[in-house]
Structure 1
Amino acid sequence: MAADAGATVLETNDDNPKTPDKSKTKFDVVIIGAGPSGYTAGIYCSRAGYDTLILSGILPGGQLVNTTEVENYPGFENGIMGPDLMIDMRKQSQRMGTTIIDDEVVNVDFRRTPFKVLTASEEYEARAVIIATGANPRKLGLEGEQTFGGKGVSYCATCDGPFFRNQEIVVVGGGDSAIEEATFLTKFATTVHLIHRRSELRASKVMQERALNNNKIKFHWDSAVTDIKGNQKMQQVVIKNLKTGEETTLDAGGLFVAIGHEPNTKLFKSQIELDDEGYVVLKNKTHTNIEGVFAAGDVHDRSYRQAITAAGFGCMAAIDVDKYLTESADKQ
């Protein structure tokens, strides 16, 4: 990728990255968010020679900082802990020259260039912006979700299903995502208990038929999970029939919550086009409806939601940014 003539590359190293210059406020690229997509975009933008800033938020690293072992990210034969993977990505981005500041964005102005990105303490300007704020899974609101997160409670069957071979598994939800996850988990589980608040599924007819005809899936209608129990790991799930009030305790090794995701896009509601669920609408590749503003990762991806796909989208966004900035410079 061609570097912009006015861009600079910071000299850093893995073990002792350069301390961010907090007095600097003008950058070629500002990346909002620091999960796999944000860090990867930083690596590519900085390596191309662009003066790049990542505003990571208060808790950098995205969902992977709350994940234990990651087995399906290429390059780690024996797996890697989620937080360790994020630390390595952060260091690699810094080594390429990316400035990373752990501050939370509170407002943006995409009406004209240079774009403005505001935190509680500073206002930054950018020639291009990459939105990589991700999405969070909707939760049940139970204390046990926090206690047993990564210890039996999961929000991604593709990520964690293989950890529960030959165990009973509970899935909560009734839409396409829940049915897809329940069906996928039958590859590993002895029984998948599907807990749904209603008496019928909301999933598409084809997916419903597939699940209803799968003898490994047991349906618990008009029910909700009320408690999660265990010692070091989750061992039991308490479900309540919402019509009769009867409670049942299920022995299970895993609980998968599949009741949807919330993209972190409220900040951009009046600035860029979002769909009915709040996901960023892409007009072409990683381009939003605002020229010079791009999006990468779970903030627009409702289908895959994997660390590897998020990183791929970060790469794509950075390449699109390079093309945009190069063409913009040629027009001047």
Structure 2
Amino acid sequence: MEKQVINLDLIIVGAGPAGLAAAVYASRSKLDTLVLENKIIGGQVRDSYRVDNYPGFPYITGEDLSNNFQKHALEAGAKIDEFDNIVSMKLGSEEKIVETSKKIYKPHAVILATGSNNRLLPVPEEKKFHGNGVHYCELCDGALYEGKDLIVVGGGNSAIEGAIVLSKFAKNLNIIHQFDYLQANKTNEEELATKTNVKFIWNSEVRHVLGESSVTGVQIENVKTGELSEVKTDGVFVYIGRVANNELFKHYIKLDNWGHVLTNENMETNIKGVYAAGDLRSKTIRQLTTAVSDGTIAALAAEKYIMERKRV
């Protein structure tokens, strides 16, 4: 059976903060707007134990904030489809085609807000222990390690936020970081400093994960001296950055050297009518507030483009 072809104003690819902010503004502008999401609505912020740096919310869980974003977008009139995966995209200045497993969409404009994926621990054993000793989400898997020894790899905000949560479960928690200083905000650093079961292993990187059927430890290397040593652990939680999720469109859109989408200040890519917002975009600062800002700008720029296109 042939797929149904649907013409509409705007497709937003990704339902994280950037995509949902764009959906609110686009829908309020009376654009026929569809958000496509093949993972979880709310993006990576949904996994945050708490959010305390979003204006107007001194404290809110990531799940609650994500639910608020989703509710707002739906109430504004956006449609969200999280069950029809995109199988291909063709992005041109004159025609844009987004094909899902069930339908073919032909929008006037597209906003790319696909975010990023966890950067995997670069060791040979990652695949063997992925989800079974090597993890990337403290809220999802931290409770599995009640009273056990844990390792956190990384020293940025995500790593320290993860460590704060994991310290509630772990007997002992070692943080392994390639530098001799943290790259997190001071509030998180100060809270972590109150945890008596947390220690730091500086200037070090994980080279191997040890164990047969389960993780028993890691081999680390001191990046300054080259010395190898082993650290006992029952689980490893990894926070070493994220990789831009660009597989669907990387052959059409100009990217920087790290795979992030290049845009101007109006979130426009190299293709007319295609915009990018959020962590996917090439920029210096990636925060929840900047993602929402990107989505807002992209939606308003898309609305102007669509209105001009309709007048032709």
Normalising by structure 1, report the TM-score.
Answer: 0.69
1:88 aligns with 2:68: yes
Give the CA deviation at 1:62: 1.5
Q: Distance in 1 between matches of 2:104 and 2:155?
A: 36
Gap change, CA 1:179 and 1:49, over 3 Å in 2: farther
Give the CA deviation at 1:224: 3.6
Aligned-partner SS, 1:266: coil
1:170 aligns with 2:191: no
1:98 aligns with 2:78: yes
- Find 2:6's aligned residue among 8, 20, 25: 25
Quote the residue 1:193 is aligned against.
200
1:312-331 paired onto structure 2 within 5 Å: 312-330=293-311
Quote the residue 1:127 is aligned against.
108
1:295-306 paired onto structure 2 within 5 Å: 295-301=276-282, 303-306=284-287
1:45 aligns with 2:29: no
Let me know the Cα RMSD of the aligned residues.
Answer: 3.6
Native 8 Å contact 1:297 1:310 kept in 2: yes
Q: What is the identity, as a one-letter code, of the residue corresponding to 1:219?
A: N
- Find 1:226's aligned residue among 184, 209, 213: 209
1:257 aligns with 2:236: no
Deviations, residues 141-176 of structure 1 (Å, cap 9, x unaligned)? 3433438623485878335746749x87614446xx
Aligned-partner SS, 1:92: helix
Deviates more, 1:50-59 or 1:146-155: 146-155
Gap change, CA 1:105 and 1:251, over 3 Å in 2: closer
Gap change, CA 1:62 and 1:186, over 3 Å in 2: closer
Q: Distance in 1 between matches of 2:155 and 2:65?
A: 18
In structure 1, list runs of 5 or more residues that go unmatched.
1-21, 195-217, 229-235
1:146 aligns with 2:145: no
Give the CA deviation at 1:272: 1.3
Quote the residue 2:157 is aligned against.
158
Q: Distance in 1 between matches of 2:30 and 2:268?
A: 21
Deviates more, 1:264-273 or 1:237-246: 237-246
Native 8 Å contact 1:106 1:119 kept in 2: yes
Q: Distance in 2 between matches of 1:70 and 1:169?
A: 24
Q: Distance in 2 between matches of 1:319 and 1:301?
A: 19
Deviations, residues 116-146 of structure 1 (Å, cap 9, x unaligned)? 1111111001111000000112132343343
Quote the residue 1:54 is aligned against.
35
In structure 2, list runs of 5 or more residues that go unmatched.
143-149, 168-172
Give the CA deviation at 1:91: 1.5
Give the CA deviation at 1:31: 0.4
Aligned-partner SS, 2:15: coil
Gap change, CA 1:79 and 1:61, over 3 Å in 2: closer
Q: Distance in 2 between matches of 1:44 and 1:189?
A: 38
Identity, % of aligned positions: 29
Q: Distance in 1 between matches of 2:229 and 2:154?
A: 26
Q: Distance in 1 between matches of 2:159 and 2:53?
A: 9
Gap change, CA 1:32 and 1:183, over 3 Å in 2: closer
Deviates more, 1:61-70 or 1:263-272: 61-70
Aligned-partner SS, 2:46: helix
Native 8 Å contact 1:132 1:299 kept in 2: yes
Q: What is the identity, as a one-letter code, of the residue corresponding to 1:116?
A: I
Quote the residue 2:219 is aligned against.
240
Q: What is the identity, as a one-letter code, of the residue corresponding to 2:63?
A: P
State the number of aligned residues: 272
Gap change, CA 1:86 and 1:227, over 3 Å in 2: farther
Deviates more, 1:305-314 or 1:287-296: 305-314
Q: Distance in 2 between matches of 1:109 and 1:286?
A: 19
Normalising by structure 2, report the TM-score.
Answer: 0.73
Q: Distance in 2 between matches of 1:273 and 1:92?
A: 32
Q: Distance in 1 between matches of 2:185 and 2:176?
A: 10
Gap change, CA 1:293 and 1:172, over 3 Å in 2: same
Native 8 Å contact 2:155 2:184 kept in 1: no
Native 8 Å contact 1:154 1:160 kept in 2: yes
Give the CA deviation at 1:263: 0.6
Aligned-partner SS, 1:268: coil
Deviations, residues 175-199 of structure 1 (Å, cap 9, x unaligned)? xxx96626967555558635xxxxx
Q: Distance in 1 between matches of 2:292 and 2:17?
A: 5
